[in-house]
Structure 1
Amino acid sequence: MINSIGGQIRIFMPRFGNINERRHQLHEVIRLSGMNLVINDLDMPLIIKVASIPKERMQVYFIDNEDYFKRKATLTDEDGNLFPDNDERAIFFAKGVIETVKKLNWSPDIIHVHGWLASLLPLYLKNYYGNEPLFKDAKIVTSVYNSGFEGTLDEDMAQKIMFDGIEDTSVAHIVEPTFNGLMKTSMDFSDAIVLGSEDLSDELVAYAEASKKPVLEYKGLESFSQPLQEFYSTKVLNDKE
């Protein structure tokens, strides 16, 4: 909808191994791939693949790496256990997205973060890439959902992030990397917050409300149906004129 009225939306997501590349016509973009990202003192190759949503004229960029995303699953194994390297996958995804945007030379107005695997994006944008001109005027919005996890990620996650020169005060919430800690970190470095689920924990709701940042309360699907109907009715009328 935004693309059809002159805006431009690009989607970035991990290229999980259970995504069918042939069915969705993914192809590697050589000019964007070919760099290494340093994750905890290791060089990890960054591979960028892309697919399109033709009806929406929208590009979807897939952040890929053989070690992190080849397995035929998303965040947990067949027994429901979190993958032990999910912390490094989150770091790789955050840095991978930002490096891809830099190679595209695209300066977004709004960066909208969804899901805990993407929760380090605001942290890296405001710290590690804090002086990058492309993001100088960008506003970061984090949507918080109830799709979290039990327990913690790797206990050395904060140390791995600080390896990139990020101060310990910036990762205070993920010294013990719980779901709530990751989302609090994302909110800390965002400019606005969306409460994306009706049944969020009281802890996260209270943290968002105490942030003194713009907070959009949870809205059910019925809140959007009428405005969308009005938009498409107006669009049809205008197209006929």
Structure 2
Amino acid sequence: MNGKKILFVSSELVPYLPENEVSLMSYETPRMVNSNGGQIRIFMPKFGNINERRHQLHEVIRLSGMNLVINDMDMPLIIKVASIPRERIQVYFIDNDEYFKRKATFTDEEGKSFPDNDERAIFFAKGVVETVKKLNWSPDIIHVHGWMASLLPLYLKKFYADEPLFGESKIVMSVYGEGFEGALDANLVDKIAFDGIDKESLNGLKNPTYNNLLKVAVDNSDAIILAADDLPKELEDHISNLEKPVLPYVALHEFEEAYMNFYNTEVLK
């Protein structure tokens, strides 16, 4: 991976959020690339339950300050950064008071999904791309983890299709078994269409369930990693019908060689 640039975009990441299959692989994969000579950038949402003092987050003024338009509303974008000390890995956090100040990730105290999770996902996807553009950093691979990051492939392929910075970038989507109950806001299609993305590309999101969100994500990706051994059959069947490179599930203790080979022989070929 010497010199290869890989952008990791994730809903969750240890040590900033509790350990689960998404947050752990979102940490282990960039750690592996970093230790094998690759250049990495990591992005995640700055959820309100991330302790800024303990993890020494600070705002990057030169990257903050722009507004993102979400469903005809101007939403300020704040960029914060921190380092994972033992790995010397830097993490960029996408922040906005309206979407991410609350002291929780995806659900309220009663376990109900936040009604604006759809807009939070749109804001996160656009915020990542706009920040990478400011960094003027052109990734060879964009590796996406977690459902709140899953609109990124769609936005890169449609909304940012003419952005030269990502002209050669390959998108890898890791698909996990953990999602969310029910569906996101029923108006998600209209909110994405507001950005000029044709509704034909959004047919799969008319009922924005976890499975449908991930189907659209893999449809707009260049390669797919099955990151859990208990995926919904509906998702497995959809992926099996795609003519794209797919890496079957590999357990954590033996993933490094498999992921490196997949990057080098299937994604970067």
- The alignment's TM-score, normalised by the length of structure 2, stands at 0.82
Match of 1:138 in 2: 169
* Alignment partner of 1:207 is 2:200: no
Map 1:80-91; keep pairs closer than 5 Å: 80-91=111-122
For residues 212 and 112 of structure 2, the distance between their equivalents in structure 1, rounded to whole angstroms, comes to: 19
| Pairwise CA distance, 1:219 | 1.0
Q: How many residues align?
A: 228
For residues 121 and 51 of structure 1, the distance between their equivalents in structure 2, rounded to whole angstroms, comes to: 22
Percent identity of paired positions between Structure 1 and Structure 2: 70
Match of 2:148 in 1: 117
Map 1:89-128; keep pairs closer than 5 Å: 89-128=120-159
| Pairwise CA distance, 1:225 | 7.7
* Alignment partner of 1:14 is 2:42: no
Q: Please tell me whether the aligned partners of residues 142 and 187 of structure 1 are also in contact (alpha carbons under 8 angstroms).
A: yes
Given the superposition, is the C-alpha separation of residues 56 and 38 from structure 1 closer, same or farther in structure 2, using an over 3 Å criterion? same
Q: Please tell me whether the aligned partners of residues 49 and 62 of structure 1 are also in contact (alpha carbons under 8 angstroms).
A: yes
Q: Please tell me whether the aligned partners of residues 174 and 185 of structure 1 are also in contact (alpha carbons under 8 angstroms).
A: yes
Given the superposition, is the C-alpha separation of residues 222 and 49 from structure 1 closer, same or farther in structure 2, using an over 3 Å criterion? closer
SS in 2 for 1:170: helix
Question: Which amino acid counterpart does residue 191 of structure 1 have in structure 2?
Answer: D
Question: Which amino acid counterpart does residue 176 of structure 2 have in structure 1?
Answer: Y
Question: Which amino acid counterpart does residue 166 of structure 2 have in structure 1?
Answer: F
Q: Which 5+ residue runs of structure 1 have no aligned equivalent?
A: 228-241
Given the superposition, is the C-alpha separation of residues 184 and 30 from structure 1 closer, same or farther in structure 2, using an over 3 Å criterion? same
Structure with the greater relative contact order (CA < 8 A, sep ≥ 6): 1 or 2? Answer: 2
* Alignment partner of 1:198 is 2:268: no
SS in 2 for 1:173: helix
Q: Please tell me whether the aligned partners of residues 184 and 204 of structure 1 are also in contact (alpha carbons under 8 angstroms).
A: yes
Map 1:42-81; keep pairs closer than 5 Å: 42-81=73-112
For residues 48 and 188 of structure 1, the distance between their equivalents in structure 2, rounded to whole angstroms, comes to: 29
Map 1:208-223; keep pairs closer than 5 Å: 208-223=239-254
For residues 200 and 56 of structure 1, the distance between their equivalents in structure 2, rounded to whole angstroms, comes to: 31
Match of 2:188 in 1: 157
Q: Please tell me whether the aligned partners of residues 3 and 57 of structure 1 are also in contact (alpha carbons under 8 angstroms).
A: no
For residues 79 and 150 of structure 1, the distance between their equivalents in structure 2, rounded to whole angstroms, comes to: 13
For residues 197 and 95 of structure 1, the distance between their equivalents in structure 2, rounded to whole angstroms, comes to: 27
Q: Please provide the CA RMSD for this pair.
A: 1.5
SS in 2 for 1:90: helix
In the TM superposition, what whole-angstrom CA distance separates every residue of 1:164-211 from its partner, at most 9, and x where no partner exists?
Answer: 000111111111110011000100100000111111011101111111
For residues 189 and 136 of structure 1, the distance between their equivalents in structure 2, rounded to whole angstroms, comes to: 14
SS in 2 for 1:23: helix
Match of 1:168 in 2: 199
| Pairwise CA distance, 1:222 | 4.0
Match of 1:189 in 2: 220
- The alignment's TM-score, normalised by the length of structure 1, stands at 0.91
Question: Which amino acid counterpart does residue 42 of structure 2 have in structure 1?
Answer: I
Q: Which 5+ residue runs of structure 2 have no aligned equivalent?
A: 1-31, 259-269
Larger mean CA deviation between 180-189 and 214-223 belongs to 214-223
* Alignment partner of 1:129 is 2:164: no
